[in-house]
Amino acid sequence: MVFKVYYQENSKNVPVREHTQSIYVEGDSERDVREKIKDFPYNIEYVETVTGAYYEYEKNNKEDFKVLELG
Protein backbone atom coordinates (compact mmCIF):
# COMPACT_ATOMS: atom_id res chain seq x y z
CA MET A 1 0.00 0.00 0.00
CA VAL A 2 1.02 3.59 -0.49
CA PHE A 3 0.78 6.10 2.34
CA LYS A 4 1.05 9.88 2.22
CA VAL A 5 3.03 11.26 5.14
CA TYR A 6 2.55 14.91 6.09
CA TYR A 7 5.51 16.29 8.01
CA GLN A 8 7.55 19.30 9.08
CA GLU A 9 11.23 19.16 8.19
CA ASN A 10 12.47 20.12 11.64
CA SER A 11 11.15 18.09 14.55
CA LYS A 12 12.25 20.78 17.03
CA ASN A 13 10.04 23.56 15.64
CA VAL A 14 6.35 24.08 16.25
CA PRO A 15 4.31 22.82 13.24
CA VAL A 16 3.10 25.54 10.89
CA ARG A 17 0.63 24.46 8.21
CA GLU A 18 2.32 26.58 5.55
CA HIS A 19 5.53 24.61 6.03
CA THR A 20 3.93 21.17 5.87
CA GLN A 21 5.44 18.90 3.25
CA SER A 22 4.58 15.38 2.15
CA ILE A 23 6.22 12.19 0.97
CA TYR A 24 4.76 8.93 -0.28
CA VAL A 25 5.95 5.75 1.36
CA GLU A 26 5.15 2.14 0.54
CA GLY A 27 4.28 -0.02 3.52
CA ASP A 28 1.97 -2.65 4.98
CA SER A 29 0.34 -0.37 7.56
CA GLU A 30 0.58 3.07 9.14
CA ARG A 31 2.67 1.54 11.92
CA ASP A 32 5.04 0.00 9.35
CA VAL A 33 5.46 3.38 7.60
CA ARG A 34 6.12 5.18 10.88
CA GLU A 35 8.73 2.55 11.74
CA LYS A 36 10.44 2.98 8.35
CA ILE A 37 10.75 6.76 8.68
CA LYS A 38 11.48 6.97 12.41
CA ASP A 39 15.15 7.87 11.75
CA PHE A 40 14.26 10.78 9.47
CA PRO A 41 14.55 14.17 11.25
CA TYR A 42 10.86 14.90 10.58
CA ASN A 43 8.00 15.96 12.80
CA ILE A 44 5.28 13.64 11.48
CA GLU A 45 1.86 15.29 11.47
CA TYR A 46 -0.34 12.72 9.79
CA VAL A 47 -0.15 9.47 7.80
CA GLU A 48 -2.97 8.48 5.44
CA THR A 49 -3.61 5.65 3.00
CA VAL A 50 -3.61 6.59 -0.70
CA THR A 51 -5.78 4.20 -2.72
CA GLY A 52 -8.17 4.08 -5.65
CA ALA A 53 -9.15 7.37 -7.27
CA TYR A 54 -7.14 9.32 -4.70
CA TYR A 55 -3.98 7.41 -5.70
CA GLU A 56 -4.64 8.02 -9.40
CA TYR A 57 -5.21 11.73 -8.77
CA GLU A 58 -2.00 12.09 -6.75
CA LYS A 59 0.01 10.09 -9.29
CA ASN A 60 -1.27 12.10 -12.27
CA ASN A 61 -1.32 15.59 -10.74
CA LYS A 62 1.78 15.79 -8.56
CA GLU A 63 4.96 16.61 -10.44
CA ASP A 64 7.11 15.26 -7.61
CA PHE A 65 5.13 12.05 -7.08
CA LYS A 66 7.62 9.37 -6.05
CA VAL A 67 6.93 6.45 -3.76
CA LEU A 68 9.74 5.69 -1.34
CA GLU A 69 10.39 2.00 -0.92
CA LEU A 70 12.25 1.81 2.34
CA GLY A 71 13.42 -1.45 3.85
**Each residue's pLDDT expressed in tens, for the chain with a length of 71 residues:** 999 999 999 878 788 888 899 999 999 999 999 999 999 989 999 999 999 999 999 989 888 788 988 87
d(CA 44, CA 7): 4
Single pTM value for the model:
0.86
d(CA 25, CA 5): 7
Domains and CATH numbers, the chain: 2-68 (3.10.20.730)
